[in-house]
Amino acid sequence: MKFPANYQIPAHWHPAVERVTVLSGGVNMGVGDKLDMQKTMALSPGSMMILQPNINHFVWTKEETIVQLNGNGPWAVTYVNPADDPRKK
């Protein structure tokens, strides 16, 4: 996936394990029910994070970033706050 600079993904969860590998740029990931830029871990190229199913997490970028996502299906994205779901806008 390619994210532009200053991109945010609000708190959400997945029903299966998610593996995120940063290929370029940098991504900031945090765990919780609401996007909080102060409560994130910066991941640089080559970094990997593995999230267990049903863990609320969020993401933001400072610069253009490319990540590789791996997981097993069935796959879904469920936003903690349904109003944050871009598919409903």
The answer to whether residue 29 sits within a structural domain is yes
The answer to whether residue 85 sits within a structural domain is no
Peptide bond into 86 cis (omega under 30): no
Per-residue pLDDT of 31-69, as tens digits, reads 999 999 999 999 999 999 999 999 999 999 999 999 999
Confidence of residue 19 (pLDDT cuts 50, 70, 90): very high
88 pLDDT more than 90: no
Q: What is the predicted pLDDT for the residue at 1?
A: 95
Confidence of residue 89 (pLDDT cuts 50, 70, 90): confident
Query: How many structural domains comprise the chain?
Result: 1
- What is the domain range of residue 56? 2-72
The answer to whether residue 17 sits within a structural domain is yes
The answer to whether residue 88 sits within a structural domain is no
Residues in Cβ contact with 60 at an 8 Å cutoff, skipping those fewer than 6 apart = 6, 7, 8, 9, 27, 28, 35, 37, 40
The answer to whether residue 81 sits within a structural domain is no
